[in-house]
Amino acid sequence: MWWRFVKAVKSREHRVAATTWIAAAAAVVYTLAPIDLIPELVLGPLGLTDDIGVWGILAVLVAREHRRWQSSVRA
């Protein structure tokens, strides 16, 4: 069912909230930026927890958009 959601977003049948787009852009920038809250060089694998947290927040927002799309399809 996720592929239908992606298709609906690509074909502009479903408008994704601006906050979700901003969070997606922020997640990519934060992951690629050389500055981290918890640096990997100092703490090793533990330093990846902040990156995982940012992607976790994005996953929650995308899941919310998917539920919103599903409710509009059922209506």
Query: For residue 16, which of 75, 58, 50, 74 has the smallest C-alpha distance?
Result: 58
Question: What tens-digit pLDDT sequence spans the chain (75 residues)?
Answer: 789 999 999 999 999 999 999 999 999 998 888 777 778 788 888 888 888 899 999 999 999 999 999 999 887
Q: Look-up: residue for tokens 């599903």?
A: 70
Q: Look-up: residue for tokens 């992606």?
A: 6
